A and B are shown apart, each in its own frame.
Chain A
C-alpha cells in the first residue's frame, strides 16, 4: 500500500487527498500545522489550519488567500482522506495533523512541546500507524526544567538588573516564545516592552482570546525608552543592533533550548541565557512517540539521524525524513544578518539563523 505522505520538491504531499502538509513552495492546497515561517509560506492558493491559529497565520502570510479552519478534534474529508487537527502545544493554534485513509492513520506533529504553556492549548497525545515527529532537541542533553523555575530565574534577573538601573532584554521568537515569556514573568516587577515584530503577534494573540499582561510597544522614532526598569522582549535578530541603544544600559539574555550548551552561550557572547523552549525535550519526544503507539516513526528536522537510530534500536521502524523544516535553528550565522530595526518586515524566525 502506498504511503499517505511522500516527499516531493514542494513538500510533504498526500497523493490520495491531493494536498500538502506545510509545503515549502507555493501549492494549490496547504494544510498547515502552525504559522512559523518554515512551516507556513505565503503564496499558496488555499490554506487549512486549526481554528485557534487562523489570526496568527493570517498575520504571517498576509494576502487574501482563503484560510479554512477546523476546531481541534473536528475532521473533514479531502478527496476521501480524513484530516483532523490535534493540539501540538508549540504556539497558539499549533496542531498535529492526522490523516487517515483506508484504515491507515498518519500523524504529522509539526513542532510540539509537552510542557504547559498559558498562551496555547496543551499537547494532545494522538495514536497513529505512522508518526512523523520533529526532533529539534532530540539528544539526551536536552531536558527542560519546569517553566515556573525558569520564570523565577528570569524574574530574579530582571529585579537584579532593575536594581542596577539596567534594562533587561530577553531575546525570543516573535511568535510564541515572546508571548509565553510575557505570560510567565511577574508583571508587578515593572513594565514589559516589546519589539514591533513581537507586538504584531501580541495583537494577534489577544484578538484570538489569549490573555496577556499589559505590554507596551516602542513608539516610532523614539529616542529613549524606559528608565532601566523594563523587561524588553525582542526577536534574536536585534542582538548587537542600534535598536537596543534605545534602552540605555542593557543586559541581554536569549531564551532558547540551545542555551543548554555552554559553548553556544559563549558563542552568542551572552553572560546569561535562559533555557526555555517551545519544542519537546528529549524525554518529551520519547513520551510522545511511545504514546502514539506507532510502529513506524519518521523523524524530521533536528537530531533526526540519531533519534531514528535510537528508535530502531528500541524496536521501532524508524528513519529520518529530510524535510526543509528547521524548527528552532541553532543560533549561528547571526553575524551575517543585518540587525532588524523597528518596522523591519523580515521574518525574525528566518533572520535568526541558518538552517540546521
Chain B
C-alpha cells in the first residue's frame, strides 16, 4: 500500500508526462505481480465496487474526529474531495515508520473486498482498523479505493507505455494486451510475454477517437477527400469475431456480449478473423429509439426476454479493423471501407437486421454536407462524422483525421439562481451553477451547468455569489438573481421529473452575458417552443 500510495502522490505532484512515466516505470519495476495487477486495473480507470456508503464513512469519520456531521460537510465543501476531507479530519494516523506493510493486493483483499458482504458493524471495524494502520497520505488513497475511484491524471496510453518499457516490447502490442483488463497476477505476467498469447485472441483493438471540429469545415480541404457518416447517438463498440468465439467490447473496455446477445448471435455468423468497429443503437424497424432507451440495455449485465423485446438494438458498422485474420488498421480508410462493404451487411435502415452498415453521405461540397448536417437533429443523430479517406485507423484521440461535426447547439440566456462549491481544482470556489428562466413572472430552474467560464471568471463569479447570497444550505448558496449566462445544450424534451417540465441535454455555459440583465433572459415558453420546433424523436434518417 505504501508503494502504491507514494506512486499516487508522485503522479499527483507533477504535470510532466516524462516524470509520470518515470514514476510508473519505477513502480512497475519494483512492485510484486499481484500488486502491479491491481495497480494497472486502478490506474486504467477500473473501479472497485463500493463496499461502504459515503454516508457511513462520513458518520464514522465525524465520530472519530469528535466533530458534528454538519461540520464535516462544511469541510467537504472547502476541500472538494471526500477522500481527502476524511483524511484531513481524522485524528493523527500511524507514523510513517509504523504503517502496515501489506501490499496493494493484500489491502484490497483484506479491507476492501470483505466490505461488500459485511454488516455495518463489521464494516465499521474494518474501516477503523484501516485508519489506525495507515498514515494520513495513505488514507487518502485508501479512501479513494473504497469509494470507488482512483483517478490520478494518467491515461491508459501512458500506463501502456510504462508497461511496454518495463517489458521491453512495443507500446502498441502492450496497449492491445491491456484491452479487456487485467484480473490477477497471471494476467499481469502475460503482459510481459515476448510472443502473442492465447488470451490475445478475443481482444479488441484500441479505439480510434474523433475530435470535435472547431474550425470551419472548409479548412479541411476538398470535401471529396472525406468519408462522411451520421454521428450516431449510440454506444461505440467493437465486434471481435475470431476462432470459434465472438465478443462485443465497449469503448470502456467492458465485455458487453451478454448485454447484447442478439447482436452477438448474428455476429457469430461473420467469417472468423473479422473485427468491426461501429455503434450500437436502439431501433425498431429502422426507427431510432434514442439514447435513453439504449442506456437501459447497457445498464444490464444480462438482457432479459422482456428487455430484448422492448428495446431491440442494431449494430451499425462503420469500419473494418481485421479482415481474414489480418490487422488492416494501417490501410487507408477508403480501402477498409471497400472491404467493409464486401462483408455484405445491409445499409441502415434495413428493417430488423441486427448487423447493418452505416451509410456514406459523401458529397462534393461542404455546402451540401452542411445542408445534411442541418437535418441531423430531426433525424435523431448528433451531426456528421468526417473521416479522411486516406487515413489509417489510429489509436486514442489523435487530431486531424477523424472529426465530429456536431449540430449547432441550441442556446438560451438563463439567470444564475444557486451556486455550489466545486471539486478538484475548483474546490472552495462556487463553480457549479443552477440556472433558471422566466415563467409567470418568476424564475424557474432548468439546468445545472458548470463548464465554459475561464478560471478568472469563475473567481469573479465566486466573489459575486458570496456577495449576493440570500441563503446558505450547506454548500449551496441561493443568490439574488444578477448574472446572466448563455447556456448551450444539445436538445430539450418534456419531462415530468423536472420542476419546470422540461429537460435539457448536455447543458453547458458558453459565455457570461455581462451585457444582459436578468430581465433580458429567456422564458420557459422560449424553451418549449424549441421542443415544438424539433421533430419527434424516432425519425428515420
Q: Could you tell me which A residues sit within 8 Å of B by CB distance?
A: 139-141, 143, 260-264, 266-267, 271-272, 303, 305-306, 309-310, 313, 330, 332-333, 335-336, 354-355
Q: Which residues of B contact A355 (CB under 8 A)?
A: 463
Contact across chains for B67 and A354 when beta carbons are under 8 A apart: no
Contact across chains for B425 and A267 when beta carbons are under 8 A apart: yes
Contact across chains for A271 and B13 when beta carbons are under 8 A apart: yes
Contact across chains for A141 and B89 when beta carbons are under 8 A apart: yes
Stretch from B74-82, B259-267, B354-362, B378-386 forming part of the interface with A: B74-82
Q: In this assembly, does B335 line the interface, its C-beta being within 8 Å of a C-beta of chain A?
A: no
- Measured CA separation A313–B68 after assembly (Å): 9
Minimal Cβ-Cβ distance residue in A for B421: A263
Q: In this assembly, does B14 line the interface, its C-beta being within 8 Å of a C-beta of chain A?
A: yes
- Shortest Cβ gap from B65 to chain A (Å): 6
Contact across chains for A335 and B88 when beta carbons are under 8 A apart: no
Q: Which residues of chain B in 377-423 are interfacial with respect to chain A, using CB atoms and an 8 Å cutoff?
A: 423
Q: Which residues of B contact A141 (CB under 8 A)?
A: 75, 78-79, 85, 88-89
- Measured CA separation A336–B455 after assembly (Å): 10
Q: Which residues of chain B in 67-102 are interfacial with respect to chain A, using CB atoms and an 8 Å cutoff?
A: 67-68, 70-72, 74-75, 78-81, 84-85, 88-89
Contact across chains for A332 and B429 when beta carbons are under 8 A apart: yes
Determine which residue in A260, A261, A309 has the highest number of CB atoms from chain B within 10 A of its CB, and name it.
A261
- Shortest Cβ gap from B141 to chain A (Å): 12
- Measured CA separation A206–B427 after assembly (Å): 39
Q: In this assembly, does B2 line the interface, its C-beta being within 8 Å of a C-beta of chain A?
A: no
Given A261-B78, A354-B459, A139 contacting B424 (CB threshold 8 A): no
- Pick the residue among B424, B460, B472 that contacts A266 (CB under 8 A): B424
Q: Which residues of A contact B472 (CB under 8 A)?
A: 305
- Measured CA separation A162–B68 after assembly (Å): 46
Q: Which residues of chain B in 177-199 are interfacial with respect to chain A, using CB atoms and an 8 Å cutoff?
A: none
7 new A-B contacts, CB < 8 A, other than A141-B89, A261-B79, A335-B456, are: A139-B71, A263-B428, A266-B424, A267-B427, A309-B71, A333-B463, A336-B459
Q: Which residues of B contact A333 (CB under 8 A)?
A: 456, 459, 463
Q: Which residues of A contact B78 (CB under 8 A)?
A: 139, 141, 261
Contact across chains for A140 and B67 when beta carbons are under 8 A apart: yes
Q: In this assembly, does B462 line the interface, its C-beta being within 8 Å of a C-beta of chain A?
A: yes
SS class of chain B's interface: helix, strand, loop or mixed?
A: helix
Minimal Cβ-Cβ distance residue in A for B86: A141
Given A306-B71, A335-B455, A263 contacting B79 (CB threshold 8 A): yes
Minimal Cβ-Cβ distance residue in B for A335: B456
Q: Which residues of B contact A309 (CB under 8 A)?
A: 70-71
Q: Which 10 A-B pairs have the closest CB atoms?
A: A263-B427, A141-B88, A266-B425, A267-B425, A263-B80, A306-B74, A335-B456, A141-B75, A332-B459, A333-B459
Contact across chains for B462 and A261 when beta carbons are under 8 A apart: no
Minimal Cβ-Cβ distance residue in B for A272: B13
Q: In this assembly, does B176 line the interface, its C-beta being within 8 Å of a C-beta of chain A?
A: no
- Measured CA separation A12–B176 after assembly (Å): 69
Q: In this assembly, does B426 line the interface, its C-beta being within 8 Å of a C-beta of chain A?
A: yes
Q: Which residues of chain B in 427-485 are interfacial with respect to chain A, using CB atoms and an 8 Å cutoff?
A: 427-429, 455-456, 459-460, 462-463, 472
- Measured CA separation A141–B80 after assembly (Å): 12
Given A260-B88, A271-B14, A310-B68, A139 contacting B74 (CB threshold 8 A): yes
Contact across chains for A335 and B459 when beta carbons are under 8 A apart: yes
Contact across chains for B426 and A267 when beta carbons are under 8 A apart: yes
Minimal Cβ-Cβ distance residue in B for A266: B425
Q: Which residues of A contact B15 (CB under 8 A)?
A: 271
- Measured CA separation A269–B94 after assembly (Å): 30
- Shortest Cβ gap from A206 to chain B (Å): 36
- Shortest Cβ gap from B91 to chain A (Å): 9
Contact across chains for A140 and B89 when beta carbons are under 8 A apart: yes
- Measured CA separation A313–B429 after assembly (Å): 27
Q: Which residues of A contact B428 (CB under 8 A)?
A: 261, 263-264, 330
Q: Which residues of B contact A335 (CB under 8 A)?
A: 455-456, 459
Contact across chains for A336 and B79 when beta carbons are under 8 A apart: no
- Measured CA separation A139–B68 after assembly (Å): 12
- Measured CA separation A315–B33 after assembly (Å): 56
- Measured CA separation A330–B428 after assembly (Å): 9
Q: Which residues of A contact B74 (CB under 8 A)?
A: 139, 303, 306
Q: Which residues of B contact A139 (CB under 8 A)?
A: 71, 74-75, 78
- Shortest Cβ gap from A250 to chain B (Å): 15
Can you pick out 26 interface pairs between chain A and chain B where the beta carbons lie within 8 Å of each other? Answer: A139-B75, A139-B78, A140-B65, A140-B89, A141-B79, A143-B88, A261-B84, A261-B427, A263-B81, A263-B427, A263-B428, A264-B427, A264-B428, A267-B425, A267-B429, A267-B455, A271-B15, A306-B74, A309-B70, A310-B68, A333-B463, A335-B456, A335-B459, A336-B459, A354-B459, A355-B463
- Measured CA separation A355–B75 after assembly (Å): 19
The proximity string for B residues 366-381 relative to A, scoring 1 for CB distances below 8 Å and 0 otherwise, is 0000000000000000
Minimal Cβ-Cβ distance residue in B for A139: B75
Determine which residue in B68, B78, B80, B89 has the highest number of CB atoms from chain A within 10 A of its CB, and name it.
B78
- Measured CA separation A354–B463 after assembly (Å): 8
- Shortest Cβ gap from A328 to chain B (Å): 14
- Measured CA separation A119–B51 after assembly (Å): 50
- Measured CA separation A48–B429 after assembly (Å): 38
Minimal Cβ-Cβ distance residue in A for B153: A266
Minimal Cβ-Cβ distance residue in B for A306: B74
The proximity string for B residues 53-72 relative to A, scoring 1 for CB distances below 8 Å and 0 otherwise, is 00000000000010110111
- Shortest Cβ gap from B353 to chain A (Å): 50
Contact across chains for A263 and B426 when beta carbons are under 8 A apart: yes
- Measured CA separation A339–B88 after assembly (Å): 33
- Shortest Cβ gap from A102 to chain B (Å): 37
Minimal Cβ-Cβ distance residue in B for A310: B71
- Shortest Cβ gap from B412 to chain A (Å): 29
- Measured CA separation A271–B79 after assembly (Å): 18
Determine which residue in A143, A263, A266 has the highest number of CB atoms from chain B within 10 A of its CB, and name it.
A263
- Measured CA separation A139–B455 after assembly (Å): 25
Minimal Cβ-Cβ distance residue in B for A270: B13
- Shortest Cβ gap from A306 to chain B (Å): 5
Q: Which residues of A contact B75 (CB under 8 A)?
A: 139-141
Q: Which residues of A contact B462 (CB under 8 A)?
A: 332
- Measured CA separation A119–B460 after assembly (Å): 36
- Measured CA separation A306–B72 after assembly (Å): 10
- Measured CA separation A261–B75 after assembly (Å): 10
- Measured CA separation A313–B425 after assembly (Å): 32
Given A140-B89, A141-B85, A141-B88, A263 contacting B424 (CB threshold 8 A): yes
Q: Which residues of B contact A143 (CB under 8 A)?
A: 88
- Shortest Cβ gap from A88 to chain B (Å): 25
Q: Which residues of A contact B72 (CB under 8 A)?
A: 140
Determine which residue in B12, B70, B79, B423 has the highest number of CB atoms from chain A within 10 A of its CB, and name it.
B79
Contact across chains for B71 and A262 when beta carbons are under 8 A apart: no
- Measured CA separation A262–B425 after assembly (Å): 8
Contact across chains for A262 and B84 when beta carbons are under 8 A apart: yes
- Shortest Cβ gap from A43 to chain B (Å): 25
Q: Which residues of A contact B424 (CB under 8 A)?
A: 263, 266
The proximity string for B residues 12-53 relative to A, scoring 1 for CB distances below 8 Å and 0 otherwise, is 111100000000000000000000000000000000000000
- Shortest Cβ gap from B477 to chain A (Å): 12
Q: Which residues of B contact A336 (CB under 8 A)?
A: 456, 459-460
Minimal Cβ-Cβ distance residue in A for B65: A140
Q: Which residues of B contact A305 (CB under 8 A)?
A: 472
Q: Which residues of A contact B12 (CB under 8 A)?
A: 262
Q: Which residues of A contact B455 (CB under 8 A)?
A: 267, 335
- Measured CA separation A354–B15 after assembly (Å): 27
Q: Which residues of B contact A260 (CB under 8 A)?
A: 88
- Measured CA separation A305–B472 after assembly (Å): 11
Q: Which residues of B contact A306 (CB under 8 A)?
A: 70-71, 74
Contact across chains for A262 and B81 when beta carbons are under 8 A apart: yes
Q: Which residues of A contact B88 (CB under 8 A)?
A: 140-141, 143, 260
